[in-house]
Amino acid sequence: MIDGHMIQGRLFDGCGRIGPSAGPSPAKASPATQTSAGSRDVRDLGRERRNQHRAHTRLVKLALKRLSKEPDLLVLHNGVAGGEFWSAETGEVRHFRAGLGKGSSDIIAILRPLGRFLALEAKTGTGRPTTQQRQFLDLVRNAGGFATVFGSVDEALAAVERARRGADR
């Protein structure tokens, strides 16, 4: 994809197809301001996506910070290219390069003392898990772990409480 450019008569914002163009042919169009009926300016969509990403990042960080205070949890931030280890004892954050791959949950935790695996997927606003994320959550549940989607720190804490009681979601 080409950020903010016309490709075969359609607008792209760098993240995906926006819609059919209106007006001149792709070679003559001004991609930064081109709109189609009912669609928004490409710059507005890019700004909205950045804001959604920031909200998601903030939710994950707040949940990690709060969950790391639970003495019976080992909490990991699962980044596809790396992660962070949050120590419950010291509050220290250690960075490492790893990751479970595309579709894996944002937060991975191990419930002590039995070692139960938890997968917590953060979603903000109207966000929904992708097909790969749903497959990962199902994989965890089928293996006896706990997997769920949360939209707030309180929902993440409630999910951990359900996991403590033996639920699978």
CATH, domain range 54-164: 3.40.1350.10
The answer for residues whose C-beta is within 8 angstroms of residue 166's C-beta and 6 or more apart is none
Stretch 134-138: mean pLDDT: 96
Residues 6+ apart with CB under 8 A from 58: none
What type of residue is 94? R
CA-angle at 117, arms to 100 and 103, nearest 5°:
30
pLDDT tier at 15 (50, 70, 90 boundaries)? very low
Question: Where are the domains positioned within the chain?
Answer: 6-39, 54-164
pTM of the model: 0.66
Residue 57, Cβ neighbours under 10 Å: how many?
Answer: 13
Q: What is the DSSP letter of 89?
A: T
Q: In what order do the strands lie in the sheet with 107-111?
A: 93-96, 83-86, 73-78, 107-111, 116-122, 146-150
Q: Is the pLDDT of residue 10 over 50?
A: no
* pLDDT tens-digit readout, 59-73: 999 999 999 999 999
- Token output for 136: 């990962």
